[in-house]
Structure formats: C-alpha cells, structure tokens
Chains A and B, each alone.
Chain A
Amino acid sequence: MLKKALIPLSLKEPHFKLTDMAAYINQFGTETVCLCHIAESTYSESERLRTEESLHAVSEIFRKKGIAAETVIERGEIASEVCRQAHQQGADYISIPWKKKNFIKRSILTSPDIDILRICSFPTLIFKSRGYLGARSVLDTMVYATDCKEADKKVLPYLKSVPFGAETLYFLHVRDRAPDPETDKKRQEHLLQKIAKLEDACRGRFQNIETILAIGSIKNRITRKSRKFEADLVVIGRNEKKKPMDKLLGSTAESLPHRVNCSVLIIT
C-alpha cells in the first residue's frame, strides 16, 4: 500500500517543498513516484524541452531519497488527466504538493488541486510543507478522524500496514450531541467500544494510542484538535457524497486541506 505515488506538478513548486515531500512519503514506504505534468495548451518544442529538464531536476530530488522516479507529460484538462494517469500508471495514491488557496480561489476561481480532490476517487495525500520553522524529519503524531462507520473499513488496512512510523495516534470522532443525556451517554459508550476495536487492530504499530470524542462541527473540531495535538498528519476516509448539501458545499475530506495546517491523507 502507498508504494507508488503519482505527483501532479505545475513545475512552479519550490524545490525545498518537494525535498520535504520526498522525505515525508519515504516514511510511508513509497518506492516509486510518477511525476506528472499536464499542460492545458499546446506548446512549442523548446517549451517541451524545458519542461522535460525541469521534471528531470525534480526526479533527482526523489532519487536522492531512494525513491525511483518516472516522468509523464500530457496535455488536457488537468484534474481529469491526473486521475486518468493515476489509473494508467498503476499508482496507489496521488500526492499533491499543496499550495494554500485564498477564499476567492477556493470558492470562485477553483484550482487543479481542488478539482483533483473533488473528482478523483483515488487515495490522496495533501502534502503541506511545515517550512523551516516547523521542520520535523519524522512523522510524530497522527490523527485519524474516524466516522465509526463505513470509512473505517477503508482506512483500517492502511493504518495496519503502512509504516507511518508515528509515535502517537489519536482516534478522533466528532459527532452531534444526542437529543437527551441518557441517549448521549449510551451513544458515547457505544462509540468507545467501536473505537476500542480499532485501537486493538492498530496496537503495536504506534507507541501511544488515544481516543478523543468531540461534539460539534466535524470540520471545525478536526481542525482544532489537530492543531492542539500538533499533528503531522490527519487521516480521513471519504464516503460517497449522498446529501445534496455535501454535493453543493463539498465533503469534509474536501474541505479539510484548506483548514488544517498539516498534511492530510484522504482514503477513498
């Protein structure tokens, strides 16, 4: 799992960020990356040569970390083409070097990254470089935002087999408060039992495992808790969007990368 990553590149990414990313995904046991540049318009032969050179330079960054690198240059609509390439190249996941988007870009102008998140049904890592101040070579703290439902079935195999190497794993479940105190108490007990099973399944892979139950808005709570625990990675499962409001506003998994200040692994 997570052996091969497809990395969409605009080739404007700073190299230090890609170096951080290489170190980061190296911990997941990623052995191969497919560096993919999608051009939206036709370009000249000289431009093509420049692109190949840039991709080659990026490949070197990954190779230095012991990760084999392949390159792909294609033309088309970026998000759709990235998804198609991920299938075609046999990638296990897509890793996006994330650039912060402002409100206008998020809501009106959109960006290829946002489109990839929206349309791709591939496990996706949103990599956020901590920069020089927050640089930490190893992944120390992880938060798994569990829904205690279907998403667990998708995420648990990753937690059990991917060598994340984090010391602490928080199981975070955010829920609505039940309509009455008695039901709320029962619900809490029921959830703790469910999460205890998850804990048992992951025991041995993490030194500390803790469970946090929170009440309130899912997006806000995950953001706050991940900041509070200084998480290096938030893992979340993504379900099919069934509700009209989710289709309109986007799911939790889609909005989380804009909110949290660490990397996010979305399992679909």
Chain B
Amino acid sequence: MTSFADQPLEEQIAQWRAYLRRRQGVDGPDVEELEGHLRDELAALTQAGLAGDEAFLVAIKRMGSLDALSREFALAHSEGLWKQLVIGPGADEPAKTSHTETLVVLGLAIAAALAIKAPALFGLRIGPDEELPPFYLRNASLFVLPLLAAYFVWKRGAEVASGLWLALPFAAGAVFANVFPFRTGGDTEALTVLHLPIALWLVVGIAYVRGRWFAGDGRMNFVRFSGELVIYYALIALGGGIFTGFTVIMFEAIDVNAKWFAAGWLLPCGATGAVIIGSWLVEAKQSVIENMAPVLTRLFTPLFTVLLLAFLATMAWTGSPINVQREVLIGFDLLLVLVVGLVLYAASARDPQAPPGFFDGLQLLLVVSALVVDGVALAAIAARISEFGFTPNRVAALGENLILLVNLAWSAWLYARFLRHRGSFADLERWQIAYLPVYALWAALVVVMFPPVFGYR
C-alpha cells in the first residue's frame, strides 16, 4: 500500500474513506478502488513537491463531487433503476404525480373487478353453490393482465401506438383460449389454463420495460418486480381472506346470508383488483420493502440443498428406485421450477462484481443436486414412457423438464466457471435473463398447438 509517513494525511484519507462508505451505491470494493486511486494521485502530487494537505485538496477536487459520484455508482451497479428512486433528484424520468397515479390505479383496479363480473351478464355466474364455469379459468389472466400492461404503458409514458401492439398478443390469447372445442374437464383445457398466464406475463414484462426488452437492466428489474408482486399478492390475499371471513360471520350473526356476496363479488373482484393494486404497491414502495424475494431465497437455498442431498443419500443408501406414479414428472418439474427460481432471485439480488463466496458454492451445490435428482427421475420415467403413452400432460411436463434442465445445466457450468475465477457472475445473470422468453414461448406453444394436436381431449 502506498501509505504516507505524513500522519495528518493518513487521518484525512481515513476520514474521506469513512465519509465515502456511508454513501449509497458505493460499496466495499468500490471504496477500496477509489482509495487506491486517491493514494496514487497523492503520491504523484507529493512527489511533484506539494505538501500533504495541499496534495489532499487537489486530489479530492480531481476526484469530483461525492454526490454526483455516488449517484453514478448507483446507476452503474446492478440495482440501477431500483435505487434511482431512493437517490431522488437527478433521476432523469419525471415522476408522475402520485395523485394522478392513485386515480389511474384505482380506475384500473375497478375496471379489472368489473371485467371479471361482465361475463355474469351473459349467464356465466360465479356463486357459492354453482360450479365455476371453466370459461373463467381459461380466461383468468385475460381479465387482469391487459389492464396491468396498460398501467405500465401509462406509467412508463410509452406511446399509445406501442401500447396497441401489446394488445395483439392479448387478443391472440383470448382467441386461443376460447375458439377450441375443449372437452369439458379435459387435459388440454387444463394445460391452457396453466400456460396462458405464463405466456402473457412476458407481454406484461415488455410493457414493464417500455418495449425495450433487450436494453439495460429492465429485464432483471422485471424479475424482481414479479417476485415482489407474488409476495405482495400473498399478503393482500391473506388480508382479503380475513376480510371475507368477517363479512360472512358478521352477517350470519344477524341471520343474513352474505355468502353469495362473498363468493360472487368479493372474491373474484378482490382477486383481480389485487393484481393491479399489488403491482402499484410494488412500484411505489419498492424502496421500502426492497428485495423481499431475495431474502426468502437466502433462507431457503440452504434448506432445499440439504433436502435434495438427503434425498439423494437416502436413495443411494436404501437403493429404492423412484416410484414412477402418473404425476411424478410434474412433481419433478415443480422442483426444477423452484430451483430455477432460487437461482434467479439469488442472481437478481447479488452484486455481480463481488467475488465468489460461500453462498455461490451453495447455489452450485443446489443446482447440481437438483440436476442429479432430476436425471434419476427422468431415467426412471424414460424407462416406462412406452407403457404410459403420450398424453398432452406428459408431453407438456417432459418439455418443461427439458427446458428447465437446459437452463440449470448451463447455469451450473457458468457457476462452476465463476467459482474458479474463469468467468464473471454477470455471465450467469445474462444467461438467466436471456432465457426468460423461452418459458413464455413454450407456454404459448402449449396453448396454441396442444389442443388441436391432441384432439381437444
């Protein structure tokens, strides 16, 4: 270290360092790097004949204003857009006035609530004693996601023309969800119910990043947004459940049956409106409960790693093969989805410049053990696939398994390279976000192709 015999100068450097550390957006290694620069500069200046304190003043001046500096750092770092809000003025987007925003959000939430009630006018009722018409399940995402996309188009100040382009996939979704003559309760209908929201979520993502899917950090921010929305939605659902319970119980006390209201209005309208309200909360409060999803990731990554390792060890010890039941493939799909989620959210919260640490090793262990478990399961299933035949469910599950397997295998490779200092963490992050459309495209394929291919059964 270029340290100085000049004691006051060292003290000044220490003060400057402490001051810099308190800044937002500048973290440990950044401070070290900047301090190295300052020391090089000081060494050059003192060599040129300046006294210690003179040199310090000049070097500090050359370094530039710390306010501007920390803002630049925050922008350059991973959570760029995320933190701009906290940093306040200087962010280049003029914030929409919150009053207007509240009105827009309330309007959209009410629109969503009305949308879900509109089919009731045509005889498709939701009530406590009636079975839910499959129409609602097939179209669930279409009641609310277009409005959510509209909110982002408005919020990001995108042009109306580009917003109209986004309407196309929603219209296509509506067509494919409703034109096929599904057999009631058939597999292909269930597949459409599950896959259409995934396909359309990508469209919401495109609205979220203002149409510029490939530019900058937008996609990762959308991943963060999705995770936070799930958490907010779960919280709102919890509150909503309690509210519904009270509604029913209180009216029961005066012998009025409020179940028709709870099941017919409160639940469907609340469930759709909450998506809009939840999204708005995530957008508005992202600095307050920032990164809840990554916290959960940190908590559950070790637990799931232990679970998978214990499972593998037990299987190796007892030698009992996987009992290939009908739906076992879907179970392993869900496992892979979970592991991909853990990797994705760990990546979304990580500083890509930080050196590999213990947690990264743990992530690699998690991914590798998930790959092994899935490999064992796939081998067991492949051995018996002829026995089962190809049903739409199984083809869909196999396809998803393959897609997730490819993602995890490459992630494991990138993790291993990163841990051995052969690659950067940014590679892994890029791979994960580049892979996002694959899920949506596969989901779209299932919605569009599977029903006709499998005869709507």
Q: Do A and B bind each other?
A: no
Q: Which residues of A contact B (CB under 8 A)?
A: none
